Amino acid sequence: MRICVMFEGQEGLNWGGWLRLALAAEDAGLEGLFRSDHYGSIHHPGESVGALDAWTTLAGLAARTERLRLGTLVSPTTFRPASVLAKSVVTVDHISGGRVELGIGAGWLESEHTAYGFPFKMPPERFDEFERQLAEISRQWSDADDVWPKPLQQPHPPIIVGGHAKPRSVRAAVRFADEYNTVMPSVEEARERCVIVKRAAESAGREQLTFSMLIGCAIGRDEAEARDRLRAWTDFTTLGGPPQLVGTVEQVAEKLGAYEAVGVGRAMLQHLVHDDVDMVAVLGELARAVAG
């Protein structure tokens, strides 16, 4: 299983924090850094904690890193016209030397749309736009002779579609994406969703998608450190409930093994307490334990 880190940038993470975390992730040997694409807080609703834009942040990180893959989980198609999103991804692909990935979704957080003046339509209409943008982005990256430059990565940067394995997201992923990402699953939920995606790909006669997950974690080198990180996690968020992965590096590696056994090929580990840069080094230790 491949291990990446995911940060919730809308929770007040400033540029200095982004740079510290990205360089720590690269030093730790993690495969990639993913960030949310929100303009409003999720863990502190109603508070003005601040959010830097996802794609301009990734462009800056692309210029300051050398190996780390960079992407969004996920960019809502309600924020940007398809051409702007396609061009942003291509730009980061060129700055990074071919290290970008596009996670894309239909958008869901109504409050941020209201605050920033983005139209927020009913779910069927948002999914219609989601599918339209996927088709247009794919066209501009490949077949459009009047749109340049093309991405460095060929045939295109990896596309990740997220969801709970419901019909419309699976259909879009099978048609356009390289990876299907599901959010905070139990092992059994991961098994069920992986089977749905696998069968849909088989029915469409295409190669299998990578099946990945976004999942919360509080990990320590020993049990005391893990307890401290769990306490920091619960102190940070107003959403309640512990993350799914809690324990020592060895304990969490074993838990990830159970997910890998049911088809999860990549884990994006959500790290909420952004001041805890040492946690990123621990995730690197976890990645090595999983690989070993």
Give the tokens for residue 242. Answer: 């512990």
The DSSP symbol for 242 reads -
Contacts of 105 (CB under 8 A, 6+ apart): 74, 75, 76, 77, 130, 161, 162, 163
Query: Do residues 269 and 283 touch, judged by C-beta distance below 8 A?
Result: yes
- Give the count of domains, the chain: 1
CATH of the domain at 53: 3.20.20.30
Task: List, run by run, the mean pLDDT of 10-residue segments along the chain (292 residues).
Answer: 97 97 98 97 81 98 98 98 98 98 96 95 96 98 97 98 96 98 98 98 98 98 98 89 95 98 98 97 98 91
What local confidence, expressed as pLDDT, does residue 204 receive? 98
DSSP codes, 3-57:
EEEEE-TTTT--HHHHHHHHHHHHHTT-SEEEE---SS-SSSTTS------HHHH
| Alpha carbon distance, N-terminus to C-terminus of the chain | 10
What local confidence, expressed as pLDDT, does residue 240 receive? 75
What local confidence, expressed as pLDDT, does residue 292 receive? 87
What local confidence, expressed as pLDDT, does residue 49 receive? 81
Query: Do residues 57 and 39 touch, judged by C-beta distance below 8 A?
Result: no
Nearest-angstrom CA–CA distance, 278 and 147: 43
What local confidence, expressed as pLDDT, does residue 154 receive? 95
What is the domain extent for residue 39? 2-291
What local confidence, expressed as pLDDT, does residue 43 receive? 87
Nearest-angstrom CA–CA distance, 159 and 273: 27
Q: How big is the chain by its Cα radius of gyration, in Å? A: 18
Give the tokens for residue 14. Answer: 């400033």
